[in-house]
Amino acid sequence: MSDSCHPLHTHTKLDRFGIWLSSICAVHCIVMPFILLLFPVMMKWAHLSRMTDVIVMLIAAVFALFGCILSIRHHKNERPLCLVIIGLVINLTGRFGLNVFGPWLSQTLVIAGPMLMAYGLWVDRNLCKCFLKH
């Protein structure tokens, strides 16, 4: 690393961890319905899968929010934080809106939420690259 190159901000580590967790959550929510369709025997562990999903999503949310808030101090850009918050709201809407939206739309929202969060964190992480160029 040359002298002109600054180390990356702490938020990039939080962002990266948040991207991983929210991606795992999205993939899990895409794959799980198919696993339950193919192996109905797994139904008795479905509540465990849902609980793990909520815990992973909560941890992802904490890392994502802290990462974005730390980032705002350096980059003065609120866009990633907005994307993460919208992603969380979409995810929560899907989780609690099963009776209103039906199984397909609510599951789509549950998947779209963490994907938007991961995108927001990716944008946040890239702010640092932009910061280094200037």
- Phi/psi of residue 82, each to 5°? -60, -45
C-alpha span between 120 and 55 (Å, rounded):
20
Q: Applying CB under 5 A, which part among 2-10, 49-57, 99-107, 112-120 lies near Zn ion?
A: 2-10
C-alpha span between 95 and 111 (Å, rounded):
10
C-alpha span between 51 and 58 (Å, rounded):
11
Q: How many CA atoms lie within 13 A of 14 on its CB side?
A: 21
From residue 59 to residue 78, the character string flagging contacts with Zn ion as x (rule: CB under 5 A) and all else as - is ---------------x----
DSSP class of 43 = G
CB of 13 to Zn ion, least distance (A): 11
CB of 54 to Zn ion, least distance (A): 30
Assess 128 for contact with Zn ion (CB under 5 A).
yes
Q: Applying CB under 5 A, which part among 5-13, 17-25, 47-55, 94-102 lies near Zn ion?
A: 5-13
Residue from the set 9, 18, 29, 88 that interacts with Zn ion by CB under 5 A = 9
Which residues of this protein are in contact with Zn ion, per CB under 5 A? 9, 74, 128
